[in-house]
């Protein structure tokens, strides 16, 4: 098989031609803390998203893998993964998938559920605004967004586009979104 490897900072693409008709494509984003802290990570993340969108529906005969370094490292685990210290609370209120996608924000999410805040309208990582900025929590009907690790430029861009961007606290989100009766 003939293969090509391209890398630009934390973004890498591997293409392998098995035959003239059969091609494998792997797109990898290095999302380890040191790479994420790099100034160019935001641009690499956006290129990874663009490539992921293009490759979601590959041509016949093309197989694709779209992943990040940490996700790929999880595949390599040969021993059983221990259960989380506190299992995800099954609420049946739309929060279940959000809790599964944001385990690092378990305390915030549990607080929001307890406070009766309605679940976000979209999945974690939804891209909004003119610049397609990925946000952690979003309520489209109220135009409210929460960035757990956002920067001032993203917040400014979203506010310019008419979004209310609130701090990731139960009080701030509850005030902006409201509570369920």
Helix (H, G, I), strand (E, B) or coil at 71: helix
- Evaluate if residue 81 carries a pLDDT over 60: no
**Predicted local distance difference test score (pLDDT) of residue 121:** 79
Instruction: Extract the tokens encoding 116.
Output: 């009766």
What is the crossing angle of helices 106-114 and 170-177, to 10°? Answer: 50
- Evaluate if residue 54 carries a pLDDT over 90: no
- Evaluate if residue 106 carries a pLDDT over 70: yes
What does the buried/exposed string (b/e) look like for 94-116 if buried means 16 or more CB atoms within 10 Å of the residue's CB?
A: ebeebbeebeebeebbbbbbeee
Summarize the confidence of residues 1-28 as an average pLDDT. 85
Closest residue by Cα to residue 94 from 73, 113, 72: 113
How many CA atoms within 13 Å lie on the side-chain side of 13?
14
Residue % of the chain over a pLDDT of 90? 24
**Predicted local distance difference test score (pLDDT) of residue 130:** 87
Between residues 15 and 71, the one the model is more confident about: 15
What does the buried/exposed string (b/e) look like for 39-49 if buried means 16 or more CB atoms within 10 Å of the residue's CB?
A: eebeebbbbbb
The mean-pLDDT minimum among 27-31, 91-95, 106-110, 116-120 falls in: 91-95
pTM of the model: 0.51
């Amino acid at each position: 098989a003939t293969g090509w490897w391209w890398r630009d900072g934390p973004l890498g693409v591997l293409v392998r031609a098995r035959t003239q008709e059969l091609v494998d494509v792997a797109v990898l984003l290095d999302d380890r803390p040191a790479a994420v802290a790099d100034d160019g990570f935001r641009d690499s993340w956006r290129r990874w998203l663009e490539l992921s969108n293009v490759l979601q529906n590959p041509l016949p005969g093309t197989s694709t893998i779209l992943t990040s370094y940490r996700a790929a490292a999880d595949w390599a685990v040969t021993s059983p993964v221990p259960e989380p210290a506190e299992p995800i609370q099954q609420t049946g209120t739309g929060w279940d998938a959000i809790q599964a996608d944001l385990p690092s924000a378990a305390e915030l999410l549990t607080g929001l559920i307890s406070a009766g805040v309605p679940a976000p309208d979209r999945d974690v990582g939804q891209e909004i605004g003119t610049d397609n900025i990925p946000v952690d929590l979003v309520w489209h009907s109220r135009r409210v967004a929460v960035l757990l690790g956002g920067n001032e430029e993203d917040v400014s861009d979203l506010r310019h586009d008419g979004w209310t961007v609130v701090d990731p606290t139960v009080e701030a989100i509850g005030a902006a979104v409201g509570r369920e009766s």
